[in-house]
Structure 1
Amino acid sequence: MVHAHPGRRSRGGTAAVSHLDPQVFATYLERTRWFGGKGRAYDVTDVSTIGTLPGEPPLVVVHLVEVTYADGSDGGEAGVELYQVPLAFYEHPEQRLDHAFVGWWEDPDHGWVHAYDALHDREAMALWQRAFDDAAESPDGTMSSDGLVFHRLPGHDLDLDAQSSLFSGEQSNSSVRYGEDALMKVFRKVTPGRNPDISVHEVLTEAGSTHVAHLYGWLETVQDGEPVQLAMLQQFLRTATDGWELALASVRSLYADLDVHAHDSGGDFAGEASRLGEALREVHETLHEHFPAERRPASAARELADAMVGRLEAAAAVVPELAEHTGRLRGAYDAVAGLGDLDVQQVHGDLHLGQTLRTSIGWKIVDFEGEPAKPLAERQLPDSPWRDVAGMLRSFDYAPRVVQRSLGIEDGPDAELLEQRAQEWAERNKNHFLTAYAGGGLSAEQQTLLDAYVADKAVYETVYETRNRPSWVGIPLQAVAKIGAP
């Protein structure tokens, strides 16, 4: 059940927007792919204006919508979340934007206005583009306007004639492409503090890393003395292909002839898996060099194990099928508790094949924001590189299962052969990726950490699938059933 309350207060000096109907925002959030509260009861408890884009028409206003969940904190998720909603306002209906219509309001200054999701509007998106260009012209690389601050890094001139195009299919944020020139990611769920996606890209860009899209700039506001980062502008990778889609294509090639083994398939992905492992190792090495790294005492291993157990207990309340596996999962976590000192550093935090791009010159890793469900303060903390490795291993396990399910073959010899080929593909690519990343075999300590992180990731996936794609929950549950099994 969703409720909407009028904006009762402003946030950090922003003006409350009492003339905006909160129920319109509540309805709008339900329609989006990026809203993270689906499946939970919540209230829209505040709507605030944080800034207006320089230049018009159209009038583009950035809002923060506060969502408060009835269940409070749930499995590490915040009880209150803020979502960024930029709206383009027009006096008259714009039929070209009917698909992006959000609502209409009686504005004290402009009368009745029609509001549209600004990211669908090329006229509106040109305002962001020009503001970033203005920032590049200033001596300090910044441009401020009505509470919004645009930052630019030197080294790239924007193409102001490039038209915008909104990417479809994203789930946590929204990305807009400016022709062949640049890509702007708009963060939908925002939290006061520096977003690691920006801070990590800034460091890797200045270090000259060849495995990321270079950062051009970012947009932020300030509330209660803290930055709230709203968007980032970066290099558009013209020749890039999504790593997840490449993996699925490889699986489909294998399944086209079930008599062929994975290593003989014309679409064999093992070489790409190896190159991706090498790319991740190089990114981790650069992050280790430029961000604080530490060796934590043995007590940190127990804390890590306890945190994993806590996430398991919270997940079991959402996914009852986990109950029969909790004993073996705890065994994987208990093994971590017995380890000695732990090495931690800046990592990606939410790595999988969908966070990679294959270009004509190699693999790129994207989206260093970390797990969207975690609080920002937690996502900023150093972690073990094996968390990223585990995320990739789980993704290699997912790809053949997703294609397998799409075929609808559940019984008979073909189903058994499909299962064999799925295991072959997953194990072959996991082994190539892991060997390339580690430069050989793993030590006993590394294997213990990796096993626990794989288990932790699979548990997380069961919750995600239960809430978002219930028909897919069998994929992570299948993996959970194998953890610790003889």
Structure 2
Amino acid sequence: MDQTNRSVVVDERVVVKWLTPPQPLPHPAPDVHAHLAAVGFTRTALPYAALVRHGDPGELVALVTAYLPDARDGWEWCVAEAAAGRAAFAADLGELAADLHAAMATPSPVFPAPVRRADLGGAWAERARAALREALELTGGADGAWLAARADTLRALIEPLARAGETPLIRVHGDLHVGQTLRWRDGYAVIDFDGNPTLPGADPYQPAVRDLAQLATSLDHVAQVAIRRAGAVPAEALRWASAARERLTSAYRDRLAAHGLSWLLPELTPEPFEIEQECRELIYAARHLPRWRYAPMGVLRARLAPRESEETT
């Protein structure tokens, strides 16, 4: 995915991320940086400063963080793993996500302790339905026809959200995908706490499973990128994605349990959130990056193919 901001490395010591254009305050990143520092989370680039232009409202101009030596963006290193058929790394990503959520669930002077809500399923379902409606409106051509023919199936996959029971809410990353994970000299780091660019103004307190679902679907996107750009055999890339997702999810659950936080994951499965995310990827492609459409369309086709095969047998 293309980066919408501009990052400049200064003397291999700091990275200055210029927001283009500057974003109105309040912006999520400074508070997240302050919280993670307060609870001792170190699996990110150490935050140094936020540059703000004062006004009414003020604007966040840039963020300054530590430089991570030998860092590679997830859309580079993870595509290479997919092309080579290696999935062991996914366990490390699962543990990274669980460590992040454990830190987000630790109260600080910035963020409160997790809360439990039992009345949000309807709102989540309607948000997902709205994303599907918009994706259907914005996706044209053969892809749009394919999507429209399966709209009822996609709606049915979203509907479990409406029946969500009591669910713990934490401050989530909000845009957690492989592109937000750096592989660097000392391991893995999660970065970019700017929120979801496809859903400005979203409540930053969400169930942890929403972040997990987005991270898992990004592995499916990596498989599509590997097919398109690295010459991966489609069937092999899809098997890789399935294996990577399984490792990711298993490691995440085990690490969350080790933190004593298994209760952060409700009975609700990730699938409805994953379907919503693919719709948001289609919206993003239509509005900002048309060439990206192949990835979410490829994921949806692969996800629905087994169901359609069962229906015809």
TM-score range with shorter-chain normalisation?
Answer: 0.7 to 0.9
Following superposition of structure 1 onto structure 2, how do residues 328-347 of structure 1 map, counting pairs within 5 Å?
Answer: 328-347=153-172
8 Å contact kept, 2:104–2:170: yes
Q: Aligned-pair distance for 1:447?
A: 6.3
**Alpha-carbon distance in structure 2 between the residues aligned to 1:184 and 1:407:** 31
Following superposition of structure 1 onto structure 2, how do residues 256-267 of structure 1 map, counting pairs within 5 Å?
Answer: none
Partner of 2:223: 400
**Aligned partner of 2:283: which letter?**
V
Q: Aligned-pair distance for 1:326?
A: 1.6
**Alpha-carbon distance in structure 2 between the residues aligned to 1:243 and 1:475:** 16
Structure whose residues are more often helix by fraction: 2
Partner of 2:90: 273
**Alpha-carbon distance in structure 1 between the residues aligned to 2:199 and 2:290:** 21
**Aligned partner of 1:437: which letter?**
Y
Cα deviation 1:40-88 (Å, max 9, x = unaligned): xxxxxxxxxxxxxxxxxxxxxxxxxxxxxxxxxxxxxxxxxxxxxxxxx
**Alpha-carbon distance in structure 1 between the residues aligned to 2:292 and 2:10:** 34
Partner of 1:199: 31
Partner of 2:134: 314
Partner of 1:102: none
Instruction: Tell me the TM-score normalized by structure 1.
Output: 0.56
**Aligned partner of 2:197: which letter?**
P
Partner of 1:222: 54
Cα 1:280/1:178, change in 2 over 3 Å: same
Partner of 1:360: 185
- Report SS of the residue matched to 2:295: helix
**Alpha-carbon distance in structure 1 between the residues aligned to 2:227 and 2:2:** 23
**Alpha-carbon distance in structure 1 between the residues aligned to 2:127 and 2:219:** 25
1:351 aligns with 2:183: no
**Alpha-carbon distance in structure 1 between the residues aligned to 2:77 and 2:231:** 21
Structure whose residues are more often strand by fraction: 1
**Aligned partner of 1:451: which letter?**
E
Q: Aligned-pair distance for 1:471?
A: 4.4
**Aligned partner of 2:244: which letter?**
N
**Alpha-carbon distance in structure 2 between the residues aligned to 1:407 and 1:229:** 37
8 Å contact kept, 1:247–1:269: no
Partner of 1:433: 248
**Alpha-carbon distance in structure 2 between the residues aligned to 1:170 and 1:406:** 15
1:236 aligns with 2:67: yes
1:301 aligns with 2:116: no
Partner of 1:423: 238
**Aligned partner of 1:188: which letter?**
T
Cα 1:173/1:206, change in 2 over 3 Å: same
Structure showing greater radius of gyration is 1
**Aligned partner of 2:72: which letter?**
T
**Alpha-carbon distance in structure 1 between the residues aligned to 2:249 and 2:300:** 20
- Over aligned residues, Cα RMSD in angstroms? 2.5
8 Å contact kept, 1:349–1:388: yes
**Alpha-carbon distance in structure 1 between the residues aligned to 2:45 and 2:25:** 22
Cα deviation 1:109-152 (Å, max 9, x = unaligned): xxxxxxxxxxxxxxxxxxxxxxxxxxxxxxxxxxxxxxxxxxxx
Following superposition of structure 1 onto structure 2, how do residues 51-70 of structure 1 map, counting pairs within 5 Å?
Answer: none
Cα deviation 1:195-238 (Å, max 9, x = unaligned): 112211122123221211111111112322x4322111111111
Q: Aligned-pair distance for 1:173?
A: 1.0
Following superposition of structure 1 onto structure 2, how do residues 362-381 of structure 1 map, counting pairs within 5 Å?
Answer: 362-375=187-200, 377-378=201-202, 381=204
8 Å contact kept, 1:332–1:448: no
**Alpha-carbon distance in structure 1 between the residues aligned to 2:136 and 2:173:** 26
1:179 aligns with 2:179: no
- Report SS of the residue matched to 1:269: coil
8 Å contact kept, 1:353–1:395: yes
Match of 1:253 among 67, 84, 87: 84
- Report SS of the residue matched to 1:217: strand
- Report SS of the residue matched to 2:213: helix
Runs of 4+ that moved beyond 3 A: 440-443, 445-449, 466-472
- Report SS of the residue matched to 1:343: strand
Partner of 2:102: 285
Following superposition of structure 1 onto structure 2, how do residues 6-45 of structure 1 map, counting pairs within 5 Å?
Answer: none
**Alpha-carbon distance in structure 2 between the residues aligned to 1:355 and 1:407:** 21
8 Å contact kept, 2:101–2:172: yes
Partner of 1:213: 45
